[in-house]
Amino acid sequence: MKISKIILAGLLALSLGASSLVAGTPGITGVHSGTYDFNAHRPDQGNAQFGTTQKSYNWTLDFDNGTITTQNGKVDALLGTGIQYTIAGPKTLVSNGDGTYTINYTFQPNFSFFGSPIFTFSTTLDITETVNGLTIISVDTESNGVPGTISSSTTGTFPVELNWYGYTN
């Protein structure tokens, strides 16, 4: 009975945005490679999820040089499947000193109907070092119930919020 209540409390916390709680590992060093995924949300439409990566893509986080490299990929969205996207730079990785790290980048879905908009992001990630590698999740910096950060500028027609998650080994 007690274990069931603990599990229920944990699930409730997750559903209420526990990703805004920070439990990462400060002072990570070295180069770590793994895979990422993300979900895309529309903050102007009640944070509705409108897309997700088709599969996990490769990334490398270089904590010593403060950089991140990402494999571009495809996202399935409400308006189409297999929309290619580019994540461009400068792609920087900055330690916030508390187990969170900020990545700066641009995101461009190659969707000509909307003019292939370019979104600029500064996303805070909670990165936790485990015995198996790093676990990485977006932090809900706006406290709007959706992990990730709303794009700060765009050449497109609507705001976007990306919720990143991934692993390294």
The pLDDT tens digits of the residues spanning 40-87 come to 888 887 888 888 999 999 999 999 999 999 999 999 876 667 889 999
CB atoms near residue 144 (< 10 Å): 16
> Which residues of the chain have a pLDDT value below 70?
1-22, 78-80, 153-157
In this prediction, residue 6 carries a pLDDT of 34
In this prediction, residue 10 carries a pLDDT of 38
In this prediction, residue 5 carries a pLDDT of 34
